[in-house]
């Protein structure tokens, strides 16, 4: 224990740095909330995309039903395939950004734990 700190002050710092103390929950809660928001955003994006693609596929079946010859059916399928390709490519970009945010928040949470451990060592709580 550093000599310039009284026993009462040291006990106060120890209480604040223990799990459930002043620093730890704030740091953990901040990153858990950010990670949760990112995870929900990713889940929401996947659900929205799946629903949009399902509707697009159903629309394509309706268009196929109106085709009068095989050439129209092939053209309809080519257009549908091109649209699906574009949709999936855009969705991959969106999910990549969301995953990057999710990973970043997880990394920051780990870093915050390292900061907390460094603070604990600096006040010599061992």
DSSP 80-92: HHHHHHHHHHHHH
Mean pLDDT of the chain: 76
With respect to residue 104, please indicate whether it lies within any of the assigned structural domains: yes
| pLDDT tens profile 88-115 | 999 999 999 988 888 877 666 666 666 5
With respect to residue 16, please indicate whether it lies within any of the assigned structural domains: yes
With respect to residue 2, please indicate whether it lies within any of the assigned structural domains: no
| pLDDT tens profile 15-64 | 444 444 444 555 567 777 777 888 898 999 999 999 999 999 999 999 99
Total domains, the chain: 1
What lies within 8 Å, CB to CB, of 1 at 6+ separation is 7, 10, 124
Closest CA to 29 of 108, 97, 98: 108
- 80: domain range? 7-122
Q: What is the pTM of this model?
A: 0.62
With respect to residue 17, please indicate whether it lies within any of the assigned structural domains: yes
With respect to residue 1, please indicate whether it lies within any of the assigned structural domains: no
């Amino acid at each position: 224990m550093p000599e310039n700190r009284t026993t009462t002050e040291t006990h106060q710092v120890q209480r604040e740095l223990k799990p459930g103390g002043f620093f730890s929950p704030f740091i953990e809660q901040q990153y858990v909330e950010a990670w949760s928001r990112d995870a929900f955003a990713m889940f929401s994006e996947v659900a929205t995309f799946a629903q949009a693609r399902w509707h697009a596929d159903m629309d394509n079946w309706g268009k196929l039903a109106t085709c009068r010859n095989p050439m129209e059916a092939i053209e309809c399928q080519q257009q549908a395939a091109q649209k699906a390709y574009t949709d999936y490519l855009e969705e991959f970009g969106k999910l990549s950004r969301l995953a990057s945010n999710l990973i970043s928040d997880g990394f920051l949470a780990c870093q915050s734990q390292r900061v907390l451990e460094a603070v604990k060592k600096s006040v010599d709580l061992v």
